[in-house]
A = this chain, B = another copy of it.
Amino acid sequence: MRTIAVCLAFLATLVPGPPALAEEPEISEASQSCLECHAEATPAIVADWKRSAHAVTSPLAAQKKPEAERKVSSTKKRPEINDKVVGCAECHTLHPKMHKDTVEHDEFQMHPVVSPADCAVCHPTEVQEYNSNLMSRAYPNLRLNPLYMDLANEINGPRRYENGKLIKDKPNLATEAESCFYCHGTKIEVTGTKTRETDWGEITTPVLKGWPSHGVGRINPDGQWGSCTACHPRHSFSLAVARNPATCSECHKGPDVPAYQAYSVSKHGNIHAALAKDWNMTAVPWTVGRDFTAPTCATCHISALQDTEGKEIVKRTHEMADRIDTRLMGLVYAAPHPKLPTTYSIRNKDNQPLATALDGTPAAKFLIDKKEQAKRRATMKKVCQSCHSKTWVDGQFARLDNTIKVSNQQTLAATRMIQEAWAKGLAKGPDRNDSPFNEPLEKDWIRAWLFHANAARYASAMLGADYGVFALGRWEMARILDEMEEKIKGFRK
């Protein structure tokens, strides 16, 4: 019966006949010129693009679609919004003066690194939302937070053992780019140009420091933050890829953000594993119960959803925290979400760049208030309630609130121990102008909140309890707390 369905579906696509074909938008002369060489020079990039919506739709045609189905958000008339498909030149020659990576390439002013400002010509709302998303500032949020940089340097800095002493050096940029800044994004800088002979003549390319990078908070050569290709990988920009949980796993699988892990053992993840091959992963809007029967990451956090009656459930958002009231990860204590994406500017009551003080007190003026929290939770609940009863949803959120509270309490116990260790000189902490992150006992403390408090919270938020018990969660948390106590007692003797 499936084969018959495929046959029917196929026939349906063919029936429209010649008129549809006649309407197919053309490739611009500029892009046609790119393709002449690149079909041979980089054939798979061209092939990938040819499968994309960009290769078969023009911005103008996209603007004419019914609002709910529209993927472009620009409503303006601009010269770029025309009837040609979105080809090579349409993106790689935009804003040549802003792009420091612009080079003379054949007859074009071409830049290799396409930035959100380029995408914003057709997708301004998405880029604007993304700019409110703290992922867009992932680079400065790490680079300009001295405490977090202490941690990053501790992880990435190479060691030498000399004269019975372990010496820690600063990491180089290449190491950082392969570690924390792989996900956070690098700062791409143009340091010159390079010319080489190719089969198509002499070619000049910019020399780029920090390249490659598709980290979410990449600083582009035009000064813009972010990288759309992080989730919408060029050059197919496939919605099916962006909506697949594996995409998010690229940065959200490790013990510091075990979101994907929790999902993978959730009922949602299990149903996805079994059935997603038959789901429609590219429909816009995305119909719960018809296009798919269990959520992926995108469903709950980003996508525009409607129900089988065609009624809107939630609007699309690229401000990923729009449906998140509490920040569960990357913090000593879970806390209300920051107001601004620039978390590096947060200061707690002790003037540390953290969303809470070490005793758990939130840096309230930098964080969303209860009203905004309630609003965000209400939006998320709408998503949940497309498949679950109100009772069910309220029950699960009560559990999450409990997990947040208890995991914060566990972290408080760990923090009090490390503070005692600092006070008694068993470790050197901030009170002695030393990093709180660079000694073994401190690393026990870090693991307590960065990995395990966190895993328990994700397990509750995403129904993946197996990661909240033994794998990364409560068992490890309990073990660390007990071992810290033993170590502190041991030192005391």
Chain A contact residues, CB within 8 Å of chain B: 3-4, 6-11, 13-14, 39-40, 42-48, 51, 112, 154-161, 164-166, 171-172, 174-175, 177-180, 182-183, 196, 205, 208, 211-212, 214, 233, 236, 238, 240-241, 243-247, 249-256, 264-267, 269-275, 277, 281, 288-290, 293, 307-309, 311, 385-392, 395-396, 398-399, 402-403, 406, 409-410, 412-414, 416-417, 420, 438-440, 443, 450-451, 456, 459-460, 465-471, 473-475, 478-479, 481-483, 485-486
B307 contacts A478, CB within 8 Å?
no
Q: How far is the CB of A309 from chain B (nearest CB, A)?
A: 6
Q: Are A161 and B413 also in contact (CB < 8 A) when A249-B270, A471-B253 are?
A: yes
Q: How would you classify the secondary structure of chain A's contact residues: helix, strand, loop or mixed?
A: helix
A183 contacts B10, CB within 8 Å?
no
Residue of B nearest to A229 (CB): B267
Q: Are A236 and B270 also in contact (CB < 8 A) when A44-B307, A440-B486 are?
A: no
Q: How far is the CB of A466 from chain B (nearest CB, A)?
A: 5
Q: What residues of B have a CB within 8 angstroms of the CB of A236 in the complex?
A: 293
B474 contacts A156, CB within 8 Å?
yes
Q: Are A413 and B474 also in contact (CB < 8 A) when A178-B399, A387-B42 are?
A: no
Of the listed residues A254, A386, A387, the one surrounded by the most CB atoms of chain B closer than 10 A to its CB is A254
Q: Are A208 and B395 also in contact (CB < 8 A) when A254-B467, A309-B43, A468-B178 are?
A: yes
A289 contacts B3, CB within 8 Å?
no
Of the listed residues A10, A48, A451, the one surrounded by the most CB atoms of chain B closer than 10 A to its CB is A10
* Other-chain contact of A391, B208, B241, B420, B451 (Cβ < 8 Å): B208
Q: Are A43 and B307 also in contact (CB < 8 A) when A178-B468, A247-B274 are?
A: yes
B440 contacts A212, CB within 8 Å?
no
What CA separation (Å) do A48 and B271 show in the bound complex? 12
* Other-chain contact of A14, B4, B272, B412 (Cβ < 8 Å): B4
Q: What residues of B have a CB within 8 angstroms of the CB of A390 in the complex?
A: 196, 205
A179 contacts B468, CB within 8 Å?
yes
What CA separation (Å) do A249 and B471 show in the bound complex? 12
Q: What residues of B have a CB within 8 angstroms of the CB of A112 in the complex?
A: 389, 391
What CA separation (Å) do A4 and B6 show in the bound complex? 9
Of the listed residues A45, A171, A385, the one surrounded by the most CB atoms of chain B closer than 10 A to its CB is A45
B10 contacts A8, CB within 8 Å?
no
Q: How many identical chains are in the complex?
A: 3
B271 contacts A241, CB within 8 Å?
yes
B274 contacts A240, CB within 8 Å?
yes
Sample of 9 further A-B pairs with CB below 8 A, known A171-B406, A178-B459: A4-B10, A44-B386, A156-B474, A175-B402, A179-B469, A205-B389, A250-B267, A253-B264, A254-B471
A469 contacts B161, CB within 8 Å?
no
Q: How far is the CB of A235 from chain B (nearest CB, A)?
A: 9
Q: What residues of B have a CB within 8 angstroms of the CB of A46 in the complex?
A: 289, 308
What CA separation (Å) do A208 and B486 show in the bound complex? 41
A308 contacts B275, CB within 8 Å?
no
Q: How far is the CB of A442 from chain B (nearest CB, A)?
A: 9
What CA separation (Å) do A51 and B289 show in the bound complex? 9
Q: Are A3 and B3 also in contact (CB < 8 A) when A214-B267, A386-B43, A478-B159 are?
A: no
Of the listed residues A9, A308, A456, the one surrounded by the most CB atoms of chain B closer than 10 A to its CB is A308
Residue of B nearest to A10 (CB): B3
The 3 closest A-B pairs by CB, nearest first: A47-B289, A182-B465, A44-B289
A183 contacts B466, CB within 8 Å?
yes
Q: Are A47 and B482 also in contact (CB < 8 A) when A10-B7, A251-B466 are?
A: no
Q: List 18 A-B contacts (CB under 8 A).
A: A3-B10, A4-B11, A42-B385, A44-B288, A47-B288, A51-B293, A154-B478, A159-B410, A166-B485, A182-B465, A183-B466, A205-B391, A211-B392, A233-B270, A246-B269, A246-B274, A443-B479, A450-B470
Q: What residues of B have a CB within 8 angstroms of the CB of A471 in the complex?
A: 253-255
What CA separation (Å) do A403 and B156 show in the bound complex? 11
What CA separation (Å) do A236 and B275 show in the bound complex? 11
B174 contacts A398, CB within 8 Å?
yes
Q: How far is the CB of A45 from chain B (nearest CB, A)?
A: 6
B274 contacts A395, CB within 8 Å?
no
Q: How far is the CB of A348 from chain B (nearest CB, A)?
A: 20
Q: Are A212 and B410 also in contact (CB < 8 A) when A233-B267, A274-B247, A440-B479 are?
A: no
What CA separation (Å) do A154 and B182 show in the bound complex? 37
A265 contacts B241, CB within 8 Å?
no
Q: What residues of B have a CB within 8 angstroms of the CB of A391 in the complex?
A: 112, 205, 208, 211
* Other-chain contact of A460, B178, B416, B460, B473 (Cβ < 8 Å): B178
